[in-house]
Amino acid sequence: MARFSRFPVRIVHSSLWTFPLSPILLLSAIPNREPRTLLSPIRNPQSSIPNPQSPIANRQSQIVYSHLTFRRPSCRIVTDLLPAGHGESPRRVYHLGRRTDLHTEPTIKRAVAFVDGQNLYHAPREAFAYTYPNYDVKALAHAVCSRQGWDLRQVRFYTGVPHISDNAQWNRFWISKLLFMSRQGVVVFSRRLRYRYRRVELPDGKEHTFLSAEEKGIDVRIAIDVIRMAHRQEYDVAVIFSQDQDLSEVARELRVIAHEQDRWLKVASAFPGGITALNRRGIEATDWLPIDKATYDACLDPRDYRLPQ
């Protein structure tokens, strides 16, 4: 062990310390602060040996470093640090400037689909000109996951539903569709849609007032379930059928969970994409999985729940 400044540093391969060219030297440190230059020049590394019994020396390392610049008789590390608290042990190795994950990728990747029903309705309307939610959500989730080689374990569906006094037709539509999904084994979650009058100004200067539906609490419920199931290790891949950028924070949190649990974890954003789509971006910090029209059309629900049952 050698001590640089106030941070205990462990030399992984001490023989490289005296190697003439030193192609790589792996050191592990224990920072618990914001990114900054860690090491200051030292005069005699051998004189700064920490007590092996001290709690600092016995703490698990968090980050693995390289990118060393040697200067006689001192050295300096130049690297980026993860924020404090991101992980309890070394997770990544930096080899000649290239970073590699140490997590073992599972052979069978368990996937759970989290579907934002209203988002999946508006996206095909723009991309494929469909006028109502005509998708079979279970078939669509299977199609997306099988293309990636993932084992779909569960489908969870979230949507807002208008009250019968606000819109009887769409209330009947969603109640019937959700009932059929639940019989398929899909986990459904619904909230009441709230309607508010909105006023917009037209290009000619006139004002137009219309009734607009607002969905409250759906994205929060999705975020809670994604994080809760990740902590319980119920999946390896979270497939979020949405383009809601508010969920990008969930994706970043899953990376922290992966570090804490020392396991392979992926989050993907699936969404209909087409040349007429206004929004062709998935959720930031996720893998984007655009759904083409042929795949979407192969997963249509033949039942039209708009008709009287």
More confident residue, 2 or 251: 251
pLDDT at residue 257 tops 80: yes
Q: 93-104 burial, b for 16+ CB within 10 Å, e for fewer?
A: bbeeeeeeeeee
Residues 44 and 124 in one domain: no
Name the domain boundary from 38, 73, 101.
Answer: 101
Structural domain count of the chain: 2
Q: Residue 203 belongs to what H/E stretch?
A: none
Residue type, 43: R
Distance (Å, whole) CA 29 – CA 257 = 21
Name the domain boundary from 68, 101, 134.
Answer: 101
Residues 29 and 74 in one domain: yes
More confident residue, 13 or 183: 183
**Position 33 confidence tier, pLDDT thresholds 50, 70, 90:** very low
Q: Is residue 303 part of a domain?
A: no
Name the domain boundary from 76, 101, 126.
Answer: 101
How high is the pLDDT of residue 202?
77
**Position 103 confidence tier, pLDDT thresholds 50, 70, 90:** confident
- Preceding omega of 52 cis (within 30 degrees of 0): no
Domain that holds residue 192: 110-297
CATH assignment of the domain containing 243: 3.40.50.1010
Cβ(237)–Cβ(150) below 8 Å: yes
Q: Is residue 304 part of a domain?
A: no
Tokens of 125: 């309307």
Q: Is residue 305 part of a domain?
A: no
**Position 238 confidence tier, pLDDT thresholds 50, 70, 90:** very high
Residues 53 and 116 in one domain: no
Residues 92 and 189 in one domain: no
Query: What's the whole-number mean pLDDT along residues 37-62?
Result: 43
